[in-house]
Structure 1
Amino acid sequence: MITLTYEYKLAPTLKQIQVFDQWLEICRSVWNFALRERKDWANSRKCDINACSIVSEYIITPVFKRPTYASQCKALTAAKKEFPQLKIVHSQVLQQVLKQLETAFVSMWEKGFGFPRFKKKMRSFVFPQMSEKDLVGDVIKLPSIGMVKMYLSRPIPDRFSLKQARIVKRASGYYIMLSLQCNVNVPDVPPHGEPLGIDVGLRRFVATSEGELVERPRFFVDTQSQLKLLQRRLKHKKKGSKNWRKLNQKIALLHEHISNSRKDWHFKLSHHLCNQAGMIFAEDLNLKAMSRGMLCKHTLDAGFGQFLSILSWVCWKRDVYFAKVNCNGTSQTCPMCDTPTEKDLSVRVHDCVCGYRTDRDVAAAQVVKKRGLLSLNADGQAVKQNVCGVDLTGIEISSQEALKQKTQTARFGIPRQIA
């Protein structure tokens, strides 16, 4: 099963914009009320039975069970009789708000995420059940709203069906994210082709094992002076006034421009790397720790996590094998003789006792490449390069693997032709 998400900009009418804003406000109130109910229940179970807080204490009877997605959906149905404004929003949209809250709590318990917060603004809502009948050309039919025009910047791929739609509000307008599914089983990309190791950093954004150095664009830092000027002007405006809203809109548009520029550059760099190799290896970095250091602003500006996520997606899309390796000591090891060569950050040249001399970041990328190939060998997969193998230039594979590659289905259900 393949799932794709295509994003398009909407062109709603003024009346539809008012409906979107009203729905977002109602969804925000449902989120905050449901979260308040869960927090009150949790606070009532915190204190010991023989000790209560001096200031105040939450008292909820023991009969009252922990609020869940099912119980809150049932309470939402009863609340519509008391609060008629809840009937304005489609019932499934409000249920998705409660489901999103349940997912946030599950992520907190199982993945170590933070406690869900109250929302000052709601930026999106979801229609979970959509079909291809709702999409006619550049017009989509939304339940309880009607026909909304959108800019069809790229066509919907064949054999894909529409499953759900998410309306997103941004500074530049409203967007719709369509979830498309195709009932095709696509196997994982096997290791093949020329390997390439990459090392990411702040001095150079990417250094490859082939010696290519890519400088880091400073998306936020270059526009920081303009952003600082606008925020300084905003401080002297009366909060809630017309000029305050206009200036707030300018700041939001500038932030969106920075985000879009960074993501566009990450996609272009990912495609550039995929043009060079059939296997790409990267470091498995602790991005959370990197974003809390002394250079946290520059680390967040670079967006290493977003780049690695986009790179893995582009590799999957273009049949390039992608894997992460251990990042410990990549810059302190010689790629030729594996001798530990300790050096601080001020030393930018790798100079080993074996006589190998190169750029520090390039040497780290070569170590990443070497570790990636060793990890494949440890998994029982051959990594020997050949000039004229079973298919094209790539790895030497067994006859069973070759037969598997001949019969597998390519992306989007199109049969792959392998000689």
Structure 2
Amino acid sequence: MFNLTYEFKLKPTKNQVAIFEDWLEQNRRVYNYALGERKDWFKSRSCQINACSLRSEYIISADTPRPTYNRQAVALTAYRKTSSNLKRVHSQVLQQTLKRLEKAFVSMWEGGHGFPRFKKVGTMRSFVFPQLGVEPIQENAVKLPMIGLVKFNQSRPIPEGAIIKQARVVKRASGWYVMLTLHFDFAQWDLDVPQPMPHGEAIGIDVGISH
């Protein structure tokens, strides 16, 4: 099994463009809020116990757990019930933004990257639907949860047997695009992959710089 990504240019209506722009902004705010919560927690524990300033340092209770994706996702679910702005955005799309922040911290810890930065207005360029409904492609249109059918320019056909796992809506200078992740499972095709046995005599090859 493997995944492929197909990209198509969207042809959204003015109302759908307004929804896209609003969702990008709400996801940006969720990202920045979650990042600020994590940053405050780390700063509250970065000073020496005999050198902290009670006036200027970040003071957070010692028993406050470190903000993680799971804890922030639970808090987001509760806050979304009271926020009219967040109710307009699909819950799974907001959760994907938290996962995006989590990956940024993993890259910092394991990849040596810098501390994640806050996103300015207009710098959030995409949001993700981790799963789509049944038959999401209908006559050159993709059906996005809570948004509905959005027309797109189907420049190439989607292979038969491919399962559309997720969709990423991307904003570029040239317009809006959708990146569809296609999942292929060879098991359902009942393919017989040949596995030839090694035969003959082994040959060693020394590959040089120029020959």
TM range (shorter): 0.7 to 0.9
Q: Tell me how far apart the structure 1 counterparts of residues 77 and 180 of structure 2 sit (CA, whole Å).
A: 28
Q: Tell me how far apart the structure 2 counterparts of residues 101 and 137 of structure 1 sit (CA, whole Å).
A: 35
Q: Tell me how far apart the structure 2 counterparts of residues 130 and 22 of structure 1 sit (CA, whole Å).
A: 20
Q: Matches of residues 248-267 of structure 1 in structure 2 within 5 Å?
A: none
Q: Tell me how far apart the structure 2 counterparts of residues 81 and 14 of structure 1 sit (CA, whole Å).
A: 28
Alignment coverage as a number of residue pairs: 192
Q: Tell me how far apart the structure 1 counterparts of residues 107 and 175 of structure 2 sit (CA, whole Å).
A: 30
Q: Tell me how far apart the structure 2 counterparts of residues 54 and 75 of structure 1 sit (CA, whole Å).
A: 28
Cα distance change, pair 58–168 in 1 and its aligned pair in 2 (3 A):
same
Q: Tell me if the contact between 1:131 and 1:162 (Cα under 8 Å) persists in the aligned partners.
A: no
Q: Normalising by structure 2, what TM-score? A: 0.86
Q: Tell me if the contact between 1:131 and 1:163 (Cα under 8 Å) persists in the aligned partners.
A: no
Structure 1 residue 83 displacement after superposition: 2.2
Structure 1 residue 132 displacement after superposition: 5.5
Q: Tell me if the contact between 2:80 and 2:86 (Cα under 8 Å) persists in the aligned partners.
A: yes
Q: Tell me how far apart the structure 1 counterparts of residues 132 and 85 of structure 2 sit (CA, whole Å).
A: 24
Q: Tell me if the contact between 1:140 and 1:150 (Cα under 8 Å) persists in the aligned partners.
A: yes
**Corresponding residue number in structure 2 for 1:180:** 182
**Corresponding residue number in structure 2 for 1:67:** 67
Name which one, 1 or 2, has greater alpha-carbon Rg: 1
Q: Matches of residues 365-384 of structure 1 in structure 2 within 5 Å?
A: 367=209
Code of the residue aligned with 1:101 in structure 2: it is L
Cα shift readout 1:131-177 (whole Å, capped 9, x = no counterpart): 56111231111000011000000100122110000000001110000
**Corresponding residue number in structure 2 for 1:203:** none
Q: Tell me if the contact between 1:93 and 1:125 (Cα under 8 Å) persists in the aligned partners.
A: yes
- Structure 1 segments (4+ residues) deviating >6 Å: none
Q: Tell me if the contact between 1:132 and 1:161 (Cα under 8 Å) persists in the aligned partners.
A: no
Cα distance change, pair 131–86 in 1 and its aligned pair in 2 (3 A):
closer
Code of the residue aligned with 2:101 in structure 1: it is L
Identical residues among aligned pairs (%): 57
Code of the residue aligned with 2:109 in structure 1: it is W
Q: Tell me how far apart the structure 1 counterparts of residues 75 and 119 of structure 2 sit (CA, whole Å).
A: 21
Q: Tell me if the contact between 1:26 and 1:86 (Cα under 8 Å) persists in the aligned partners.
A: yes
Q: Tell me how far apart the structure 2 counterparts of residues 14 and 73 of structure 1 sit (CA, whole Å).
A: 31
5+ residue gaps in structure 2?
A: 194-206
Cα distance change, pair 114–184 in 1 and its aligned pair in 2 (3 A):
farther
Cα shift readout 1:225-257 (whole Å, capped 9, x = no counterpart): xxxxxxxxxxxxxxxxxxxxxxxxxxxxxxxxx
**Are 1:145 and 2:147 an aligned pair?**
yes
Code of the residue aligned with 2:150 in structure 1: it is V
Q: Secondary structure at the match of 2:51?
A: coil
Q: Matches of residues 84-163 of structure 1 in structure 2 within 5 Å?
A: 84-120=84-120, 121-131=123-133, 133-163=135-165
**Are 1:46 and 2:46 an aligned pair?**
yes
Code of the residue aligned with 1:165 in structure 2: it is A
Q: Tell me if the contact between 1:9 and 1:174 (Cα under 8 Å) persists in the aligned partners.
A: yes
Q: Which has the higher contact order (CA 8 A, sep 6+)?
A: 2
Structure 1 residue 178 displacement after superposition: 0.1
5+ residue gaps in structure 1?
A: 188-334, 336-365, 371-419
Structure 1 residue 55 displacement after superposition: 6.8
Q: Tell me how far apart the structure 2 counterparts of residues 62 and 83 of structure 1 sit (CA, whole Å).
A: 29
Structure 1 residue 26 displacement after superposition: 0.3
Code of the residue aligned with 1:164 in structure 2: it is Q
Q: Matches of residues 7-406 of structure 1 in structure 2 within 5 Å?
A: 7-53=7-53, 56-120=56-120, 121-131=123-133, 133-184=135-186, 367=209
Q: Tell me how far apart the structure 2 counterparts of residues 142 and 133 of structure 1 sit (CA, whole Å).
A: 11
Code of the residue aligned with 2:178 in structure 1: it is I
Structure 1 residue 53 displacement after superposition: 4.2
Cα shift readout 1:84-119 (whole Å, capped 9, x = no counterpart): 211110000000000110111011111112211111
Structure 1 residue 67 displacement after superposition: 0.2
Which one has a larger percent helix, Structure 1 or Structure 2?
1
Q: Tell me how far apart the structure 1 counterparts of residues 113 and 55 of structure 2 sit (CA, whole Å).
A: 29
- RMSD value, Cα: 2.0
Structure 1 residue 46 displacement after superposition: 0.3
Code of the residue aligned with 1:50 in structure 2: it is N
Q: Normalising by structure 1, what TM-score? A: 0.44
